[in-house]
Structure 1
Amino acid sequence: MSLSIDLTGLVRPHTVEMVKREDNPNAAEFRLQPLERGFGYTLGNALRRMLLSSLRGSAVWGFRMDGVVHEHQTVQGVLEDVHQIVQRLKSLTLVLDEEVDEATLHIKRSGRGPVHARDIQPHGSVRIVNPDQLLFTVEDDREINVELHVNKGRGYVEGDLHPADRAMPVDLIRIDAIYNPVRRANFTVAETRVGQRTDYDRLTVTVETNGTISPEDAIAYAAALAQEHFRHFVEFGRVPVGREPAAPAAVAVTGLRQRLGRLIDDFGLSVRSLNSLKNSNIRTLRDLVELTEDELLKVKNVGEKALQEIAELLQREELNFGMQFEESDGELRVVGAGTPATPRTLSAEQN
């Protein structure tokens, strides 16, 4: 039995935008609206789960250091103990080349002073993202050699869960590895308006990464990963790409749908009027014509002058205030003609 995707009467997003933070290039906010009621939480939860647990990244999973045989000890001539060094290695952010799954890095230090990530010997397949990260501090005039084992993985893996290889040295210290390149991911759902209805969802997803991947690539990867899993459920049935073309009589109706779907930016309204309408989520011509004059005057910063502009716009487009539409059999029908848009004469004060 074939399935038919019928989107009649189902609101779909017409505003998809990304806003990056000026103070942090690795953080961004993504907004999607309008969505059917409840869709915001459905999509937000799935995206957040994918972002926080399923993206692949690189991390240090083990290390060797001169004079270190286990993690519960101090290191001769080094200010920090092994626990502190482990915490700093967890904060080391690096990227392995796409075709490389693991690598071994080396640090060779002679003399006193701090040792940073930039002191790691260059490796052709590894890029250090935070070279200023402090790893440890040498207090004595001595030579210290460190070996860092790096690989790729997903999410968070405890040190004891890393695969044990008997060929590895016995003094290799395994540490918890944080592979996920996303540091923070959260979402909020608020109500938004479409025409006269105010109970649609607006989804806002906030993403911050560690710099190894951009926020937009992270959310795109998470969405593609969710899509890949949902694809298996689609395979239980047959879903057509689209419906058969509508009958010729519906051409005019389709034209009406396209006409009402145009953004209000296209009609020459003043910047003040545009901003006032957009702040109330009135973004398309249909959003505008579904409101009565009294409802428009209740919109913040919309006064008589803005109403005059809107009335002139509707008169040019041969539309009215307070029009009502109905979806029927995939067609858009006018079921309420509304009130004619008659431009008003403004007084000197109103001008």
Structure 2
Amino acid sequence: MSLVSFLNPKGFYVDEVSDNYAKIIIPQMEKGYGITIGNALRRVLLSSVEGYSVVAVYIDGAIHEFSAIEGVLEDVPYILLNIKKVKFKVDEKIVSLPAKVIIDVEGPIELKAEHIQTSQGIEIINKNQYIATITTGKKFYAEIYIDKGIGFVPKEDYPEEYKDLFSFGTIFVDGNFSPIEKVNWTVEKTRYEAYMDKDKLILEIWTNGTISPIDAYYKAIEILEKHINLLKNQLPRPEETEYIDVEELNKRIEEVKKKPVNELPIPPKVLEIFSKKGIKTISDLISYTEEEINDFYIEAGFSNREFEELKRKIYSLSLEFSPKSRS
């Protein structure tokens, strides 16, 4: 019997499922891996699954986001908050993003999400979402812009090209793109053969209905897998590993020191000062301290930025300035 036995998960099953809820159970895992996998999946589900959100709204008659509109019970801030609660599902094979839907109604009417006019490929999940009350026979017209993103994105971080895509007077709103509303995980002890301390992971996922919980589960696994594979592929293969010959490295450094100083990124005025000081090679240069060389740059009328460029080049050559002043 091997002392290095390791229990790999044999798969999962779905205990409960609906349009926006699923209980997923991974029945047998190695001890401690319930917490490891459960926590990783929860974090990825809550932070990294793509979704759709309202990013901007144009309301006819609204001069700015704190306006009041004649014949409408709510002020613009409350209308915007209610519109942001509308959940959209977009088929990107049909619809290009950002997408536009409109509201074009006449009052009096209790305006809900079901009154939004959508094109083919855009579905409203919560059609009963309240938006506003039009109290008179006045016409209410609005344009709602939808885009795809990850997590919460403040409107200040939206791309500049948004300003050219949308109607003049459009009000931008913060985007809450995550389709995941809640994730819980618990770990129970379970039996595997003679072992009584293996893990059973119970994962519960709630979504807003724009993505099924099972699809969200698969998406989270794909994201984790992609990150692990990227890290794995960056590891050097054993046959590609380079072993440094110290003597050869020292020889190369000595050859670099003999090169003329004008091969480095140094302004001509500084090179003139170096020439007067007898600094002809890189070896001569690094016999000075950083402070002394920086003073030469200041004397030539240059800022610290140009000297920092020289420092980076010196360090990239595996060299360094002298720690002791020549004076």
TM-score range with shorter-chain normalisation?
0.5 to 0.7
Taking the aligned partners of 1:45 and 1:199, their CA distance within structure 2 comes to 19
Runs of 4+ in 1 over 6 A off after TM superposition: none
Q: C-alpha separation between the residues in 2 aligned to 1:201 and 1:220? A: 21
Q: Whole-Å Cα distance in 1 between the matches of residues 206 and 236 of structure 2?
A: 38
Q: Is 1:87 equivalent to 2:81 in the alignment?
A: yes
Tell me, in whole angstroms, the C-alpha distance in 2 between the residues paired with 1:85 and 1:160. 20
Counterparts of 1:102 and 1:219, CA distance in 2: 26
Runs of 5+ unmatched residues, structure 2: 239-327
2:54 is aligned, of 43, 49, 60, to 60
What does residue 199 of structure 1 align with?
A: 197
- Of residues 200-209 and 64-73 in structure 1, the stretch that sits farther from structure 2 once superposed is 64-73
For 1:184, the equivalent position in structure 2 comes to 182
Partner of 2:16: 20
Query: In the superposition, relative to structure 1, how do residues 206 and 237 fare at CA in structure 2: closer, same or farther (>3 Å)?
Result: farther
CA contact (8 A) 1:96 1:152 kept: no
Structure number with larger C-alpha Rg: 2
Residue-pair matches, total: 232
- TM-score relative to the length of structure 1: 0.61
CA RMSD in angstroms, aligned pairs only = 2.2
> Is 1:128 aligned to 2:127, yes or no?
no
What SS is found at the alignment partner of 1:228?
Answer: helix
CA distance in 2, matches of 1:62, 1:20: 37
Task: Report the Cα offset of residue 74 of structure 1.
Answer: 2.6
Partner of 1:308: none
Per-residue deviation, residues 157-177 of structure 1 (Å, max 9, x unmatched): 122222234434452111121
- For 1:210, the equivalent position in structure 2 comes to 208
Flag the 1:64–1:15 CA change in 2: closer, same or farther, 3 A: closer
Contact 1:72 1:82 in 2 (8 A): yes
SS at match of 2:19: strand
CA offsets 1:55-103 (integer angstroms, 9 cap, x no match): 1111110101122122223322111222221221221111222232211
Task: Spell out the pairing of 1:32-181 with structure 2 (5 A cutoff).
Answer: 32-99=26-93, 100-165=96-161, 166-167=163-164, 168-181=166-179
Cα distance, 1:200–1:238 mapped onto 2, change above 3 Å: farther
CA distance in 2, matches of 1:164, 1:7: 60
CA distance in 2, matches of 1:143, 1:123: 21
Change (3 A) 1:103 1:15: closer
Q: Structure 1: which 5+ runs fail to align?
A: 1-5, 240-351
Partner secondary structure for residue 25 of structure 1: coil
Which letter does structure 2 place at the counterpart of 1:224?
E
Q: Is the 8 A contact 1:69 1:172 kept in 2?
A: no
TM-score where L is the length of structure 2: 0.66
> What does the per-residue CA deviation read over 1:135-183, in whole Å, with 9 as the maximum and x for residues that have no partner?
1110122011101111111111122222234434452111121111111
